[in-house]
A = this chain, B = another copy of it.
């Protein structure tokens, strides 16, 4: 191989989305950031990540760097896209294979707290290191246009949920309030939701019904990644 192929460095980074309340109590998408403690761009916030060691699989490296910086261990990471613009990192050519995951709030609650970890609403990012703002924007665009709501709901809520919880997922992803009665009518008329026959446990009076998706779309099964990006081999 040509000598200069060795001058390209491989990194992995991860975008995590979790549903958490904003300052008004409305659930919105949040993303964990890590403060850079080394040059270049020391002190700036960045996506969790690190270099790819020669003997570690890409997804394992993404999971390890995510865990070591944020304490998060999502059940599934999916490959999102590889970012490799020549000028994306000062002084060196770095290509980053980016993974992403949607995590439930109980998974998000396991995250490390500390001065170098911070959760930020995904739509109001500070200036991030390198091209990480563009990476978060790309991840949001993919979430909003390419992922089915059955998959998003499954990732954020698990297999069963109330209509109010499902509406909150739509509101967080679409970034606008939806009329509860209209939402209920539309969802029921879609034919894609099924009543589980159960209700929320412990609610004092008329506990809300629990629903599930009638025909889980590809990749939305309980043991499948939320995007279903790779075929079973």
A contact set with B: CB distance below 8 Å: 1-2, 4-11, 51-58, 79, 81-82, 84-86, 92-93, 95, 97, 134, 137-138, 141, 145, 218, 229-231, 233
A9 CB contacts on chain B under 8 angstroms: 1, 5-6, 8
A93 CB contacts on chain B under 8 angstroms: 54-55
A54 and B7 contact, CB distance less than 8 A: yes
Task: Give A203 to B229 CA distance when docked, in angstroms.
Answer: 44
Q: Which listed residue (B2, B10, B82, B138) contacts A51, Cβ 8 A?
A: B2
Number of copies: 2
A51 CB contacts on chain B under 8 angstroms: 1-2, 5
Knowing A81-B229, A82-B82 are in contact, say whether A54-B97 is a contact too (CB < 8 A).
Answer: no
A7 CB contacts on chain B under 8 angstroms: 54
A58 CB contacts on chain B under 8 angstroms: 82, 84, 95
A2 CB contacts on chain B under 8 angstroms: 51, 53
Q: Which listed residue (B10, B57, B95, B97) contacts A85, Cβ 8 A?
A: B57
Task: Give A7 to B79 CA distance when docked, in angstroms.
Answer: 22
Between-chain CB contacts (< 8 Å), 5 pairs? A8-B10, A8-B52, A10-B84, A82-B82, A137-B233
A55 and B231 contact, CB distance less than 8 A: no
